[in-house]
Amino acid sequence: MHSFDRYYASQQLTEKSDVYSFGVVLFELLSGKKPVSAEDFGPELNIVHWARSLIRKGDVCGIIDPCIASNVKIESVWRVAEVANQCVEQRGHNRPRMQEVIVAIQDAIRIERGNENGLKSSSSSSSKAQSSRKTLLTSFLELESPDISRNSLAPAARSFYIYFLRPSKNLRRYGSWAIITGPTDGIGKAFAFQLAQKGLNLILVARNPDKLKDVSDSIRSKYSQTQILTVVMDFSGDIDEGVKRIKESIEGLDVGILINNAGMSYPYAKYFHEVDEELINNLIKINVEGTTKVTQAVLPNMLKRKKGAIINMGSGAAALIPSYPFYSVYAGAKTYVDQFTKCLHVEYKKSGIDVQCQVPLYVATKMTKIRRASFLVASPEGYAKAALRFVGYEAQCTPYWPHALMGAVVSALPESVFESFNIKRCLQIRKKGLQKDSMKKE
């Protein structure tokens, strides 16, 4: 929503934090979805009321991304919350549907095109045209119409369509089997359950046979018709031997989907010179070599049938933010995954193979060491559900829309501003990590 650079009757945006706050509230108002978690809200409570209660306590960090919270004026957030709250009070639960918003935006674009073509009319008809520019979107918010242009509105309309209207593809059309690496925890486990729910059979690839058995039994207990094969493969060990087992397992099967989810990051933030050789080798081996060789093993099977989908898990650290200091090798490895995927997308698009790199931000997993999901931190289940809706579309995507919103805000900030906040955050993580290491040694 940062493209709407004017939304008050008598003042303009002066802080990027306003855009962020307004975007969060606006998305909730328009979609009718309840962010954060259901337990945090009563039946009549929405994000605006929730945000106002935190603002009154002075807890700006509770509603704003920690990276920019210290630079946000409470009055700015309050002003945006007030505008949104008036909308809620005036409209209640009668919020516009996404289709209505798209139509309103398209109508505004048509009006603007008419103006650009030099359409002239009488002063009365001109006045009527101007008033018609107060579209459903702006009238709903009781705000002055923004300066409308195709360059700003078309991307907004596209984003609304992609995240709220676009239908997901039938994943079974790719084939009846799906391979998932790293399926015993976090996102990979959530992917396995989601695909089983959609009727696909599974080939689960991980290093721990006991965990593979546990997750397989859990899936079968819930989806009894699901066929499950397991492959023991240590991505930090003999990758070639593991790839050989995968090839043997998929022989004769119509494997339609590969999700390269196995990956690793730092235990905590570190300067590059502090990263030991073993960690560097594992970061490159698991994130780069593992993804590359498993893809190469599965791809020929898909090419024979001229259909398939390959989803490589990248990271917002490599695609959505300017830099990721103190995690340099991880960010570099994920940048490889991103570019590798984009190249394969172009190479095999005409062969019926959809290759995609997904670049999420924060997800509550063991790898990120984030315990609880929130509005900006996806749960593994919430992320996997959103992620599967994007399969078969863009070469690179951020399926969880709050992550995309956060990425847009970061891109609107000067790099120096974001890096300043990010360095402070990473140094705090490093300090805690060093303290834990010190306690273990004692």
Question: Catalytic residue among 163, 223, 330, 362, which?
Answer: 330
Per the CB < 8 A criterion, the answer to whether 168 and 194 are in contact is: no
Compute the distance between CA of residue 344 and CA of residue 39 in angstroms, rounded to an integer. Answer: 42
Compute the distance between CA of residue 120 and CA of residue 303 in angstroms, rounded to an integer. Answer: 57
Strand order in the sheet with 308-313: 228-232, 201-206, 177-181, 255-260, 308-313, 353-358, 396-397
Give the CA angle between residues 65, 70, 73 to the nearest 5°: 100
Q: Is 330 tagged catalytic?
A: yes
Per the CB < 8 A criterion, the answer to whether 226 and 420 are in contact is: no
Question: Which residues are known to be catalytic?
Answer: 330
